[in-house]
Structure 1
Amino acid sequence: MADRTDPVSFPIALQHEHRLVFTRDVFGAGNDTLAQVLTPREPGENVRALVFWDAGLEAGFPRFGEKIAGWFASRTDHVRLAATPVAVPGGEAVKNDFRQLEGVWSAINAAGLCRHSYVIAVGGGAVLDMVGFGAATAHRGIPLVRLPTTSLSQGDGGVGVKNGINFFGKKNWLGAFNVPHAIVNDLAFLHALPPRDRRAGLIEAVKVALIRDAAFFEFIAERVDALAVFAPEPYEAVIRASARQHMEHIATAGDPFERGSARPLDFGHWAAHKLEQLSEFRVSHGEAVAVGMAIDLIYSRRVGLLPEPIAERILDVIQRLGFQLFEPIKQIRGPSGRQDMLDGLEEFREHLGGRLTIPMIRAPGVRLDIHEMDGPIVKAAFDELRARYA
């Protein structure tokens, strides 16, 4: 027999399926897309589900909670609601209030959900993040179905495997990786959004195009004026492609649970996360990412990583899509904000772990990672941004 001090190890192999389905009017009487997604865990089981939905949807879709309940009521032979659909506040504030997370846990407990049940989260990225973390931590993980309702969540955040809430004044300090059972993108939600929210998803599409796919960036650039007014056909095409690009990277790039230091999908995000915090989240995530990308593009040009004509063309596309590249910074309290923005670098490294790794580009589709940023050059990029766009 082996000595009792010898180490013992066994590999654990896990297989995940990352699934996305597109539809329209998911809770329409004749739409069975969600029913097809809510599969029983064992043969013969009747599926139980609890729905959390973004209360902000009521403005664009009156009596939305009743519509959800009615859809389930007509399908009780297959799936049943474990309790009345639960409305939760939308927007980043829901991730800053721990009581909201406790409310999700309480609702799951009161409904008697188990790991053969489903939690369904309907809403923007903040609601998906908060409810997703509640589902991931209740009973060590209840299967989650995401129904993103904003352009940002349909094209990026809602199709990922991360969730979390803000804590200690830091974005997503609490969270978990949890591959959702499925994601359902209902394109009808997009056209009911106010312009600010429709625009937000476009910047993440630009981001993923720049780090992964030059042809996708050209697709956006060639249609920039139509996208700026949200022409339905190109707009939906860009959101669809953005979702696919983000999912493909997560599933195939070799690090879905972010054990390494590189985070290509966080291009422009080190500054964006700090800008959101310093503005007390008056600046939306999409607006902050546009500013953060502009800072990194100017920085790259200044240190010789990115040729000036390419940098200028990308900045022009971002502006023509309708993003302000300095105006959001005015929402930072205090006289400057420059030094506070630089603090975001260390917070970014701490959040990701390991060596500081900042994604940059040499051209659309040509990415590289850098491991340090020169503080005075970052400040110079910040000042240039102000001089050019203030």
Structure 2
Amino acid sequence: MPLNRVIAQTVPVTFRYTVQFTHGLFQLENPVLRTTLAGDTQDPVKVMCVIDAGVLAAFPELRDQIGRYFARHAGALHLVAPPLIVPGGERVKQEEGWVRQVQDQIHCCGIDRHSFVMVVGGGAVIDMVGFAAATAHRGVRLVRVPTTVLAQNDSGVGVKNSVNAYGKKNWLGTFAPPYAVLNDLGFLPALADRDWLGGLAEAVKVALLKDAAFFAWLEDHAGALVNRDLTAMEDAVYRCAELHLAHIAGSGDPFEMGSSRPLDFGHWAAHKLESLTAYTLRHGEAVAVGLALDCTYAVLKGLLPEADWRRVLDLLLALRLPVYVPELGTSAQDPADPMSVLSGLNEFREHLGGRLTVPLLTAVGQMTEVHELDLGLLRRSVGLLKDLHDHPSGAICLPTPIPAC
């Protein structure tokens, strides 16, 4: 008998899920939820519901409205228990007990792999519940009902679920596509300005990477978006979600087995800033700062034309997004210092695995990838953004000479 024998097996797997946009998802006559979950099944499907407490505070009738919807459609849908209410925001990803509470209810209600867990809430709650669902029975069907701009245009439409651990964002998690994503745009007007605008950072990000025309559209509609024009926001959410989904499906690496992750443009600093601020900085706000930092680095490095850099900064500021926070500052410049934003580079590399791979802009709508960053130039970039923050009405002055593009 040979000493070494190998069986090589390829297992092709195809995932398909829909992202639907609607208004009034839980209105009695809206068929979207029923048709998505029940289809043409003969027996009522079991559904367990988890609701973000912040959403319930904004929509106090939501729990009863969900109950009435399931009562109206009792022949197709069975709500196995009153909705479980969990805290909103990053707290729910920080405290271990919430995952266990969701799993306990999955167990007690007999939710199996042909039943559904439906989560209604912001991105953090969707991440946590998705992690709980993906690790129960090795994965039960998850239906996401995102309620924020950022969750509807980015985090809620992807294939990742996670919670925080070891002081690091998203350290525990899974790749598990949802069964469906149901974006009820009627939730958006209740958002505070920070959450209304913060989610647009992901739209700026994906436009910079993939769609110069969408970036120009955001420039043209910045005023309408700041003034809470719902039609403009719906268009922005739809296009942003479309671009994210196209990348996930078409990149050849939906479960991020490689070291390249273009959609994490601006995120190496963003994730670190969230941690350094104890998550008082919203994810979208942190991404805006991360984009400003990486684009400033790119222009100083000679990769990005100055005119494009100015467009990026002008749009972020027009959308009232931050480009600098004190935690970005120059007081802790040692990448070995865990209190320095520069330490986020190694955490980013560790999170991806393999070589450090950072996407950088070369033009609006175009990017390249680099495998190392000049720390001195990063510090200069931070200083430039601090000057802009301290003197917002002054001209943005780049040091000269700038390396040629």
Q: TM-score range by the shorter chain?
A: over 0.9
Which secondary structure state, in structure 1, belongs to the residue aligned with residue 57 of structure 2? helix
Cα shift at 1:388: 1.4
Cα shift at 1:39: 3.3
Could you tell me the TM-score, scaled by structure 2's length? Answer: 0.92
* Mapped contact 2:330–2:383 kept (Cα < 8 A): no
Q: Does 1:34 align with 2:33?
A: yes
Whole-angstrom distance in 1 between the partners of 2:329 and 2:208:
33
Whole-angstrom distance in 1 between the partners of 2:110 and 2:65:
23
Whole-angstrom distance in 1 between the partners of 2:17 and 2:109:
27
Of 141, 147, 150, 1:149 maps to 147
> Closer, same or farther in 2 for the Cα pair 1:333/1:388, shift >3 Å?
closer
* Mapped contact 1:18–1:251 kept (Cα < 8 A): no
* Mapped contact 1:151–1:190 kept (Cα < 8 A): yes
* Mapped contact 1:204–1:286 kept (Cα < 8 A): yes
Q: 1:371 is matched with which residue? A: 371
Q: 1:244 is matched with which residue? A: 242
Cα shift at 1:233: 1.7
Q: 1:12 is matched with which residue? A: 11
Cα shift at 1:241: 0.5
Whole-angstrom distance in 2 between the partners of 1:364 and 1:70:
48
Of stretches 88-97 and 8-17 in structure 1, the one that deviates more from structure 2 is 8-17
* Mapped contact 2:330–2:382 kept (Cα < 8 A): no
> Closer, same or farther in 2 for the Cα pair 1:335/1:381, shift >3 Å?
closer
Cα shift at 1:188: 0.4
Q: 2:21 is matched with which residue? A: 22
Whole-angstrom distance in 2 between the partners of 1:252 and 1:46:
35
Whole-angstrom distance in 1 between the partners of 2:94 and 2:357:
27
Of 189, 195, 200, 1:202 maps to 200
Q: Does 1:58 align with 2:56?
A: yes
Q: 2:400 is matched with which residue? A: none
Whole-angstrom distance in 1 between the partners of 2:185 and 2:332:
38
* Deviation string, structure 1 residues 105-164 (Cα, Å, up to 9, x no partner): 111111111111101111000000000000000010001010000000001010000010
Whole-angstrom distance in 2 between the partners of 1:37 and 1:281:
35
Cα shift at 1:10: 2.2
Whole-angstrom distance in 2 between the partners of 1:336 and 1:57:
38
Q: 1:346 is matched with which residue? A: 346
* Mapped contact 2:43–2:75 kept (Cα < 8 A): no
Cα shift at 1:13: 1.0
Whole-angstrom distance in 1 between the partners of 2:329 and 2:342:
15
Q: 1:85 is matched with which residue? A: 83
* Deviation string, structure 1 residues 11-59 (Cα, Å, up to 9, x no partner): 211111031001101111111101111036x953421010001011122
* Deviation string, structure 1 residues 244-267 (Cα, Å, up to 9, x no partner): 111111011111000011111011
Cα shift at 1:84: 1.1
Of 285, 297, 300, 2:298 maps to 300
Report 1:212-291 matches (<5 A). Answer: 212-291=210-289
Of 93, 103, 106, 2:104 maps to 106
Cα shift at 1:63: 2.6
> Closer, same or farther in 2 for the Cα pair 1:10/1:381, shift >3 Å?
same
> Closer, same or farther in 2 for the Cα pair 1:126/1:291, shift >3 Å?
same
* Deviation string, structure 1 residues 327-368 (Cα, Å, up to 9, x no partner): xx23x4998344410000000000011110001111111111
Could you tell me the TM-score, scaled by structure 1's length? Answer: 0.96
Which secondary structure state, in structure 2, belongs to the residue aligned with residue 223 of structure 1? helix
Q: What are the ranges of 5 or more consecutive residues in structure 2 without an aligned counterpart? A: 335-339, 391-405
* Mapped contact 2:329–2:383 kept (Cα < 8 A): no
Cα shift at 1:3: 4.7
Cα shift at 1:228: 1.6
Q: Does 1:191 align with 2:189?
A: yes
